Structure 1
C-alpha cells in the first residue's frame, strides 16, 4: 500500500490563515471546483471541526475518515478514527479497496500539523491577501518540499481574492 500517496489540500492566506470561527475566511468558487476535481473518488481525512464546517455531511463521491477523540458519527460514507495515524491507515485501506492512488488530507489546522511530515504532495491555494483568523497552516519547509508547479489565478466572479495554485512535492530522501 506504500504506493498510495498522501496529498494535503489547503487554501492559505499570505499570513498563514486557513480558518476563522469554524469557517474559511473567504469565498473561492474557482478553488472549490479545483478541490472537487482533485479529490473526487479519493478518501478524505479531516478533523471533526472541519467536517462540521462543511455541513456535517459527506461530500459526494469521496469516502470520509473523520478524526475525533470523542465523536462517533454514524452515516453512510463516514468513518471515524481516534487518531490521525489510525485515520491515515483507514483512508489508505479505503484507497486500496477502491483502486485510487492517493488519499487527501483536507484539514483542519491540527490535522495538517500532524500530517505535514507524512505528506507526499501539498496542493496549496495561496490566497493573495492577509487575513485575521484563528486557525493557521504550518510553514512549508523548502528543505522538505520542492515547488514543482505554480499558476496564478485571477479572482473569478464568485471569488473574494486572486489566488496562486502551487504543488509542492516531497524532496527525495526526506
Structure 2
C-alpha cells in the first residue's frame, strides 16, 4: 500500500481560507482528478464538508473520512474512520491519496511514501497551512513547470 500526500500549496504555505481553497486553478483540479481517480482518498471531515455538493463524494474514488464526531454523510458509499490505522485498514486500493486538511497532512507526513504538490507561485491570505517538510526527509524526484505554478513530486527518504 502506497500512501501519497497530494495538495496545492501557495508560496507562503497557505492551503485554505475559511474552509475553502483561496484560488481556482483548473489545471490543478484536472491534475488532482487524473492522479486520484480509481484510488482511495482519505480526508478529514472539514475537508469533506468543504467539497461542492456535486463532488460529494469525489466520483470514481473510494472516499474515507476521518472523524471523531457523530458525522453522517448523505452518501452511504462514504466510509468513516476514527483513526488513520482504521482508514488504512478500510482502504481497498493499493494507492491511498491523503487529500487534507492540515491536521491530516501533519499526522501522515512521517508515514507517507510520496508527496504530489502543486506549488503555486503566489502568496495568498489564509488560515490553514501546509506543514513544513525537510529536504532531509523528502527528495524532489519530478517537476513540471508552468507560469503560475509547478507540479512537483517528492519521495520520502
Normalising by structure 1, we get a TM-score of: 0.85
Q: How do 1:1-174 and structure 2 match up within 5 A?
A: 4-55=1-52, 57-70=56-69, 71-73=71-73, 75-91=75-91, 94-95=92-93, 101-154=94-147, 162-171=148-157
Displacement of 1:86: 1.6
Unaligned runs of 5+ in 1: 96-100, 155-161
Take 2:142 and 2:129, find their aligned partners in 1: how far apart are those partners? 23
CA distance in 1, matches of 2:4, 2:89: 14
CA distance in 1, matches of 2:149, 2:25: 9
Task: Give the whole-Å Cα distance in 2 for the aligned partners of 1:53 and 1:102.
Answer: 23
The answer to whether the 8 Å contact 1:20/1:133 transfers is yes
Could you list the structure 1 runs, at least 4 aligned residues long, displaced by more than 4 angstroms after superposition.
Answer: none
Q: Identify unmatched segments of 5+ residues in structure 2.
A: none
RMSD: 1.2
